[in-house]
Amino acid sequence: MSEFVRVSEFVHLHLHTEFSLLDGACRIDELLDQAVKLKMPAIAVTEHGNMFSSVIFHDHARARGLNPILGCEVYVAPGDRQDRSGVPGATQNHLVLLAENLEGYHNLIKLVSSGYTEGFYYKPRIDKALLAQHSRGLIGLSSCLKGEVAEGLSHQQDRKAIEAAASSARTISSSRCSGTASKSSGS
C-alpha cells in the first residue's frame, strides 16, 4: 500500500472561500468543480467567523454529487465572550468546528450567531462556556497557527498546548476533537 493518500480519498476539512474576507480566495463553484475533477468524495468549508456561504456551498456541492461538510472556523475568547478589553488580535484563538449532523448544524448556527450578537469585539467571538452548551453534534479541529494548541506549541509552551487540547476535549467530547497541522496566515 502506498504511503500517500490518493486524492480520491482526501477530504479538505479546513478551507476558506471568498466569504472569508482577507483570507480566502476560492470561488465556491470553481472549488467544487476542482473537487469533482479530483474525484474527492466530500469537502468542508470553514469560513472565518461566519456561515454566509453555507447554503450556496451545500446546494452546489450536492448538485455535483459531493458530500458537503458544513463548518466554521470560530474565534474563541480567552475568557468571557462579553469582555471587551484587550489588544485586538490577542482577544481570541481560532477553532474549527464541523457539523456532524443536523443537531450540530443547528448548534453551529447558534454559536456563530451568538458570536455576532453577544461576543463581538473586533471579530465575532464565542467562549468555552457557550461552546459547552452547544457542542452536541459538533466535531472540533485544532485549527491553524492561531489555534490555542498551535500557539502554545509555537511559543514552546507545551503545557499550555496540552491543557488547551484537554480543555477542548472536555468541552467537545474527546471522540470529537482532533489536532490538525495546518499552515495559515492566522488572519
Q: Convert the pLDDT of each residue in 58-93 to its tens digit.
A: 999 999 999 999 999 999 998 899 999 888 777 888
Interatomic CA distance for residues 17 and 32, integer angstroms: 11
Amino acid sitting at position 165: A
Name the strand (E) or helix (H) holding 95.
Answer: strand 93-99
Residue ranges of domains in the chain, CATH in brackets? 7-178 (3.20.20.140)
Confidence band for 183, pLDDT divided at 50, 70 and 90: very low
Q: What angle do CA 180, 16, 14 make, to 5 degrees?
A: 20
**Rounded percentage of the chain residues whose pLDDT exceeds 90:** 60
Q: How many helices (H) and strands (E) does the chain have?
A: 6, 6
